[in-house]
Structure 1
Amino acid sequence: MKHFKSLFFKPVKHLLIVFFLISSTLPVLGRASKNSADKAGKGSRLSKNFNADWKFKIGDAKGAEEAAFDDRQWELTSLPHSFSTPYFMSPEFYVGYGWYRKHFLAPNGFQHKIVSLEFEGVFQQAEIFINGMFVGEHRGGYTAFSIDVTKALKPGDNIVSVRVNNLWNPQLAPRAGEHVFSGGIYRDVYLVVTNPIHVDLYGTFVQTPVVSKESAKVLVETDVKNETKNDQTVQIRTDLVNTNGKIVASYSSSELIGAQSVKTITQNVGTILKPLLWHPDHPYLYTAITSLSIANKVIDQYKTVFGVRTFRWTADKGFFLNGEHLYLRGANVHQDHAGWGDAVTNAGFYRDVKMVKDAGFNFIRGSHYPHDPAFVDACDRLGVIFWSENPFWGIGGSDNVPDGYWNGSAYPLNSKDTAAFEASVKQQFREMVKMHRNHASIAIWSVSNEPFFTAPHTVAAMRALLGKLVKISHEIDPTRLAAVGGAQRPLDSNRIDKIGDVAGYNGDGSAIEIFQDPGIPNMVSEYGGTYSERPGKYEPGWGDLSKDNGEPVHPWRSGQSLWCAFDHGSIAGAGMAKLGIIDYFRIPKRAWYWYRNHYRGIAPPEWPVAGKPAALRLEADKRSAGTDGTDDVRLQVTIVDKNGKPLSNSPDVKLDVVSGPGEFPTGSSINFSEKSDIRIMDGQAAIEFRSQFAGKSIIRATSPGMPAAELTIDFKGGRPYQPEFKVKDRPYTRFEKENPKTELQVFGRNNPTFASSFSQNHLPGYAADGDPDTWWQPNDNDTHPHWTLDTEKKLSIQNLMITFPSEEAYQYKIEISDDQEKWNLISDLSNNVQKEKIKNLKNINADGRYIRISFVHNTKSAISEISVTGAVLQ
């Protein structure tokens, strides 16, 4: 053991540094598929987890790229990492710069290899330096990229420095959104060593153009990169392997690869007889092993996990998987977790997908950006169909807001920004497709979400960009269709739902007349959205699907996706943040149990009630975990009575690391309280716990008046823990801007609308489409005509302006609500006799999300436009 320890570890500038030993005898696994282990193999390809032993400093640091820079006072950390840790759903977060530095030893023989750093995601601009030399950058926060660092390396000790910023940039996508945009190297990083001739990053594309129960033809495209100065003849062999390791098809060819070039090689590998088809009920996966050889010597090997299946979207009969009809029942998912923010482990992503699957869903919409490869890998392995989405979207209330802070027009306001912005959207779409194209679970590429939230003068350019993205999708992946997500506006000739192959209608789009049986494949990409603190109500929150009771009554509809699975941090405030059926700490609300019962027939548990707390039940989802940043442990505390029965009492609870390695988002301890953002609710609290050091960690739970509870977690792999490695505490403070602004925004245009009824050619949405020449009008038989606007945010409403189609003595009342159950009257004009075309109410000073206008029966009832001015409440 002493011999191996001296080989692999060396102290450099107060850090123990991993030495990368390259072997030509171990099995290799390409970047298309990975687990927590390091990989080395034939041809000396090495993929080494690079997550441990970083130094971090928030803010900009002049000269931090230089090798001699003094970083001894910086925080010792590991990846994945977020600027905002610890983060607990605040609508505000740090925006600016952060620096990361890490010492490492150069791989043996690196001068004859290609050494790269592969980042799975950095939000949102990264500048990379090796030994003070600038080696590359990447713009865009949700896609993987590779940086060749070979020429900057030197024998022995090297240092990589990464300058990251999450500053809003009018030329980068996304320009707007409702989630949070924390900066950081928040996904895994790998050091990859290859031969100068090798398979490129995510360089394989496995396709199954012909599939039946009897056979499946397999075609593999491989991007082979030749970084030598000479043309080279390379033998390429592809073996298709089942889960038992048996080769079921194989193909070899010889190809000339030009010097300093990348060539895409297409191989009709062969036919798999009696293939086991991928399906949510049996998610079977195969592996393609691609080997490159010169003169019969293997120089590279790359593995790609894939599935055999067919997807078919139809306009009249819905969605088909492997030739059989399947109704998609799904949920939308954002990526952040309690405490850690966006810096989620692969194990955390697996738990997320499993929770969705366990409730009986078969579909996830990756809202609204490319998700971590590990998340999609979990969908593959657990059997959940995945909708992968490009980060091109907008948000309501942006019309009068100047550019900035992800709250502006979806498409640039200024012509000087348009070319760079479109290039960013296209770049990230291409990167998303290349990163994810081999995943069996992905059924479609979505080019957008609600891009109609854009300034009126940019609508034509927005539509044109959608068309360009659809064309790109068809060119780079002809095996899947392209969707326009959030396609329920505009309602005029500029409608966007038919620009793509499939339309995703959000919210009221599920009920708008012109989108019923629209003549193209479609689904409800968002429905519901019920605000609740845990435990919430035992009900589904069908929301926009209430009239159908959530049932698939339309044969032309492919499916429906709940908004949303998990609570998440949101710049739109708590009203948008807490719409999940699972809370931020990954504890189910009662709605989750409703869906599990409805879809799987599993009865809910007995709900806890208040009692006399007697003990703490401390549990972990597992008792051992890895240390490379891809793994963690989920801890949960439950308040129980003397008989061990769970209670709803929620006293303060504290978790401490008594001894050994490991950390909470807040450091070596964490406090839960009903009155804190770090919440204990309904008698339960949970958090994820991780370590970059090996050893046994003893964790103790305490609460006043009850005996302590303890458990032990065994972290394996990596450096053994020493007391000097104990993490520093990071006390939680809700982030607030230094100069907070309560900006008034204008809502109404293109926000969701609902009405008691509508007459022909007078849809509810016409009262909020920005066009005064269109209007909502109820049908003649409506005895209680009313119209409702959903601003989609809880607002402090100051002004309200209603425009009517003609000057009449309208009689009506105006109410405001948070939840559409309790309504507050703000103006009663039921007896109005004054003719008016515009009603302008000022200084309302009322809080709410929904505005309802109810007309007196048998009086003139119509609304042409509505404008709501207010500030978003946090």
Structure 2
Amino acid sequence: MNPKFALPSLLLATCLSLGNLSAADDLSAAKTAQAATDSQSRVRTNFDDGWFFAKEDVEGAQKVDFDHSQWRKLDLPHDWSAEGPFDQKAPAGAPGGFLPCGIGWYRKTFTTPTSGELRTAIEFDGVYKNSEVWINGHSVGKRPFGYLGFQYDLTPHLKSEGENVLAVRVDNSLQPSSRWYTGSGIYRHVRLTQTDRIHVAHWGTAITTPEITKDAATVAVETTVRNDSDREESITVKISAESQTVSTEVTLAPKSEQTVAQKLKVPQPRLWSPDSPNLYSLSTELLVGDKQADALETTFGIREFRFDKDKGFFLNGESLILKGMCNHDDLGPLGVALWDDALKRRLVMLKEMGCNSIRTAHNPSSPELMDLCDEMGFLVVNETFDKWRYGWKSENGQLVANRDRPAVRYGYHLHIDEWWERDLSDHIKRDFNHPSVIMWSIGNEVPEAQKYGETETLIQMRDLCHKLDPSRPVTAGCNFIAGANESGFAELLDIVGYNGGGGSCFQYEQDKLQFPERKMYASEVPHSLQTRGEYRTLSRYREPKHQPADLTAEEVFPETHNKYESSYDNAGVRISSRDSWRLTRDFEFMAGEFRWTGFDYIGESGGWPRVLGNFGIIDLCNFPKDTYYFYQSQWTEEPMAHLLPHWTWTGKEGTDIPVQCYTNCDSAELFLNGESLGVQTFTEENDMHLQWMVPYQAGEIRLEASIDGEVVVTTAHTTAGPPAAVKLASDRDEVSIADRQLAYVTLTAEDGNETMSPKAAVPIQLSIEGPGRILAVCNGDPMDSAGFQRDNITTFNGLASVIIAPTGEAGSVTLTTQPEGLPEEKIVIEMK
């Protein structure tokens, strides 16, 4: 185990912002192509626009003279699986959300200046999966893993005159290939980079700050310099930050590279943290004589952290509990196609809830997510792999590793022996410099190593992490922790992550007694379930032995569909959100927790007709569920209060309904139609929520929350009548085309008094005019399998969402909705 892990800051990797990049089929390439120039010697061009696509395996499509003119034209990023249709018989099944996969081809033609002094490379941030790339008919590389970017040198095969042809084959035909929805295609950004033959290598800048004081921080920089020319060169490596400059001269042989170590000082450093994500800029320049060969800018932050076996996590010398969320890679109805704007929206919602940490469950995320975590202030557990080789089977009533069958029939086990070292190395190199990253997670729920003690893979992966990055600890998400303890697996980790599986979430205290030197955090707890707007008063857990007490003797809401889950925090797998957070909060040695999950996601649905996982505290449309406000009540200080459930229960007159409140105030008073139902305060036994049993009658329930006897927050629910209209509201009135923004339009069913109808299911026809298009629709219903790309939607529990994208031209876009039997509504959004 690595000693101490009192970690200095790591610095943000060079990643120039290219705007919020579109996946629109019809976005004008002439108007949206962007280039980022570090210097005259290094030009990085956005390469997302102007591709041709065929969703089939086409013989000879890699050849230069192949005719792709009849293929579909589109811009990247692109996920063809999200385009549907949902199909109960789809080979991906419930893990893949019953969406199609298969084989697809992409082609693009381009011209580029070439000379003996230029190197041209293509960089893909993510292709799922089994990709192969050709340039002018020459194969330049294959990559099975679908979650990591890669770069290929195109220089030897480029034409200096005329068109070049880039072709990409993507094979996601063998299904299932994962335990959740993966999407298919070139789903992240693509860039073309041109440099001199003498240049900083790909992911070739590694920066740490080994010494930090109030007066100065030492910035240690390792720069890998490549000489791809045919002659020996004397090169000056010059770095600068905060008016400090250091230069070093090296001599490189032809076709070689060398790593140059340098240090400089940053005076009076402003430290990076979730509350103050301060960032700096480092300049790197390569000179051959007086000529600039390469130059780039690197954004960085300065911070130090450590894990303490008894006191948890410390950042910049101060105790900090990790308030984290696990998230899959998809962006809801957009699939995995990366829209930077959509990704940022999600992080904004989590930040407003008080979240300060992200676990990239269970594979490398996009570079854009890492940049946003740096900029917005999220700590990151950076995970590379899910399962390694084997699945589970039942043996004497216990789940154990199944050596005869992998967790997923066509999963990563097919490639792990050949590719794990390359994939893990590239992940560390790509994300090495992000100040947000605090741990490398090398696996999630790996039974072969945990249960049977086959720890060779763990040791090899851990040691590689330590070699490439000795400053960060290594972790893994362990379920069935008893087996990991017995085999020695857990003790080989620097920090032990506790997933809930196998009751691991109940073993913190006893494991701390047994392993007093262990550093611990909850890596995937709790697995609670909620369907937005649905309730049950009888608890329902996957593991009934852990089930909490029922809220009533008989079910108050028997009408709730069996495929929906309760929003009372009484549905889940084995522990509630409240009980899980109480354990994490009260055990000082626990560094924090990462709940499963922040957002609902496609796949892991539990079987048709459900197509979504309902573990999120925010639904697929970005509408918060009740539990979102539980976390906000525990993780924020700005006074807030949230009341549940809604108050439209026609036919339940006189029935006692549990009314609950999440608040960070110290007391609250509930009123029914103006009559006080009493003041509730938090007690030692009930310190997570307040509750009243209220005989239902139509009208208003109102809550007044107080601090020190003064009312600071008021919230209320009013009984709604039948829907009389569907109102439209956009999150923005103007959309920036250059920034590739999206407009999220919320459709709310309201009664004649403009009160939301919380159970309304209103079918709505959609139409759009102007330079915009309906990119996706969604209502958050886990059983809605009609598809994300269509011109109609039905509200689910009163709400639905329409996502509008620009088509490249400025002007006014009008979205018109025609609800069945209700008045037509319009909203206008300006494309700027």
With structure 1 as the length reference, what TM-score do the two structures score?
A: 0.71
Partners of 2:522 and 2:117 in 1: CA distance: 53
* Equivalent residue letter for 1:688: I
Of 82, 101, 104, the residue aligned with 2:107 is 101
Equivalent pair of 1:610/1:647 in contact (CA under 8 Å):
yes
Equivalent pair of 1:78/1:629 in contact (CA under 8 Å):
no
Of 487, 491, 498, the residue aligned with 1:505 is 498
Post-superposition CA distance 1:362-407 (Å, at most 9, x none)? 1111100011111111111111111100114268646669657825
Aligned twin of 1:68: 65
Equivalent pair of 2:531/2:614 in contact (CA under 8 Å):
yes
Partners of 1:61 and 1:167 in 2: CA distance: 14
Residue 294 of structure 1, CA deviation: 1.6
Q: Does structure 1 residue 163 correspond to structure 2 residue 169?
A: yes
Bigger shift: 124-133 or 642-651? Answer: 642-651
Residue 695 of structure 1, CA deviation: 3.1
Residue 146 of structure 1, CA deviation: 0.5
Post-superposition CA distance 1:798-831 (Å, at most 9, x none)? xxxxxxxxxxxxxxxxxxxxxxxxxxxxxxxxxx
Partners of 2:727 and 2:237 in 1: CA distance: 56
Residue 515 of structure 1, CA deviation: 2.5
Partners of 1:620 and 1:468 in 2: CA distance: 51
Aligned twin of 1:655: 766
Residue 585 of structure 2: SS of its match in structure 1?
Answer: coil
Partners of 1:377 and 1:149 in 2: CA distance: 27
Residue 193 of structure 1: SS of its match in structure 2?
Answer: strand
Residue 167 of structure 1, CA deviation: 4.4
Q: Does structure 1 residue 530 correspond to structure 2 residue 645?
A: no
Q: What are the equivalent positions in structure 2 for 1:50-89 lying under 5 Å apart?
A: 50-86=47-83
Residue 618 of structure 1, CA deviation: 2.3
Could you say if the C-alpha distance between residues 709 and 65 of structure 1 is closer, same or farther in structure 2, counting changes exceeding 3 Å? same
Post-superposition CA distance 1:677-717 (Å, at most 9, x none)? 3563221112433345333333223312333333344445x
Residue 350 of structure 1, CA deviation: 1.2
Of 564, 573, 586, the residue aligned with 2:622 is 586
Partners of 2:594 and 2:781 in 1: CA distance: 33
* Equivalent residue letter for 2:821: G
The sequence identity of aligned pairs, in percent, is 28
Aligned twin of 2:281: 287
Residue 588 of structure 1, CA deviation: 0.9
Equivalent pair of 1:566/1:584 in contact (CA under 8 Å):
yes
Aligned twin of 2:373: 379
Post-superposition CA distance 1:276-304 (Å, at most 9, x none)? 11111111111111111222222221122
Q: Does structure 1 residue 708 correspond to structure 2 residue 824?
A: yes
Q: Does structure 1 residue 321 correspond to structure 2 residue 303?
A: no
Greater length-normalized contact order (CA 8 Å, ≥ 6 residues apart): 2
Post-superposition CA distance 1:403-431 (Å, at most 9, x none)? 57825898x5xxxx6xx523422221111
Of 511, 516, 522, the residue aligned with 2:512 is 516
Residue 30 of structure 1, CA deviation: 8.5
Residue 445 of structure 1, CA deviation: 0.6
Residue 177 of structure 1, CA deviation: 4.7
Partners of 2:779 and 2:597 in 1: CA distance: 27
Partners of 2:246 and 2:211 in 1: CA distance: 17
Residue 289 of structure 1: SS of its match in structure 2?
Answer: strand
Post-superposition CA distance 1:114-134 (Å, at most 9, x none)? 111110011122111122222
Could you say if the C-alpha distance between residues 276 and 712 of structure 1 is closer, same or farther in structure 2, counting changes exceeding 3 Å? same
Of 254, 257, 260, the residue aligned with 1:262 is 257
Q: What are the equivalent positions in structure 2 for 1:799-814 lying under 5 Å apart?
A: none
Equivalent pair of 1:115/1:150 in contact (CA under 8 Å):
yes
Equivalent pair of 1:510/1:516 in contact (CA under 8 Å):
no
Aligned twin of 2:186: 185
5+ long unaligned stretches in structure 1: 1-28, 170-174, 241-246, 717-874
* Equivalent residue letter for 1:432: H
Q: Does structure 1 residue 92 correspond to structure 2 residue 98?
A: yes
Aligned twin of 1:393: 387
Partners of 1:516 and 1:674 in 2: CA distance: 39
Could you say if the C-alpha distance between residues 237 and 385 of structure 1 is closer, same or farther in structure 2, counting changes exceeding 3 Å? same
Q: What are the equivalent positions in structure 2 for 1:128-167 lying under 5 Å apart?
A: 128-154=133-159, 155-167=161-173
Q: What are the equivalent positions in structure 2 for 1:259-658 lying under 5 Å apart?
A: 259-268=254-263, 270-393=264-387, 397=392, 403=405, 406-407=408-409, 421-452=416-447, 459-461=452-454, 463-486=455-478, 488-491=481-484, 493-507=486-500, 508-512=503-507, 514-517=510-513, 518=515, 519-536=517-534, 537=567, 539=569, 543=576, 546=579, 549-550=582-583, 552-571=585-604, 573=606, 577-600=613-636, 601-604=639-642, 606=716, 610-625=720-735, 631-648=741-758, 649-658=760-769
Partners of 1:428 and 1:98 in 2: CA distance: 23
Partners of 1:502 and 1:236 in 2: CA distance: 37
Partners of 1:588 and 1:560 in 2: CA distance: 20
Bigger shift: 494-503 or 516-525? Answer: 516-525
Residue 700 of structure 1: SS of its match in structure 2?
Answer: strand
The CA RMSD measured in Å over matched residues stands at: 3.0
Q: What are the equivalent positions in structure 2 for 1:817-832 lying under 5 Å apart?
A: none
Partners of 2:780 and 2:617 in 1: CA distance: 21
Partners of 2:82 and 2:64 in 1: CA distance: 27
With structure 2 as the length reference, what TM-score do the two structures score?
A: 0.74
Residue 324 of structure 1, CA deviation: 0.8
Could you say if the C-alpha distance between residues 382 and 157 of structure 1 is closer, same or farther in structure 2, counting changes exceeding 3 Å? same
Could you say if the C-alpha distance between residues 372 and 586 of structure 1 is closer, same or farther in structure 2, counting changes exceeding 3 Å? same
Aligned twin of 2:683: none
Residue 204 of structure 1, CA deviation: 1.0
Residue 497 of structure 2: SS of its match in structure 1?
Answer: strand
Equivalent pair of 1:176/1:405 in contact (CA under 8 Å):
no
* Equivalent residue letter for 2:499: N
* Equivalent residue letter for 1:357: K
* Equivalent residue letter for 2:276: H
Q: What are the equivalent positions in structure 2 for 1:815-854 lying under 5 Å apart?
A: none
Could you say if the C-alpha distance between residues 203 and 393 of structure 1 is closer, same or farther in structure 2, counting changes exceeding 3 Å? same
Post-superposition CA distance 1:279-336 (Å, at most 9, x none)? 1111111111111122222222112221100110111111000011111111111111
* Equivalent residue letter for 1:526: E
Equivalent pair of 2:528/2:577 in contact (CA under 8 Å):
no
Could you say if the C-alpha distance between residues 30 and 393 of structure 1 is closer, same or farther in structure 2, counting changes exceeding 3 Å? closer
Could you say if the C-alpha distance between residues 396 and 627 of structure 1 is closer, same or farther in structure 2, counting changes exceeding 3 Å? farther
Partners of 1:673 and 1:706 in 2: CA distance: 22
* Equivalent residue letter for 1:637: L
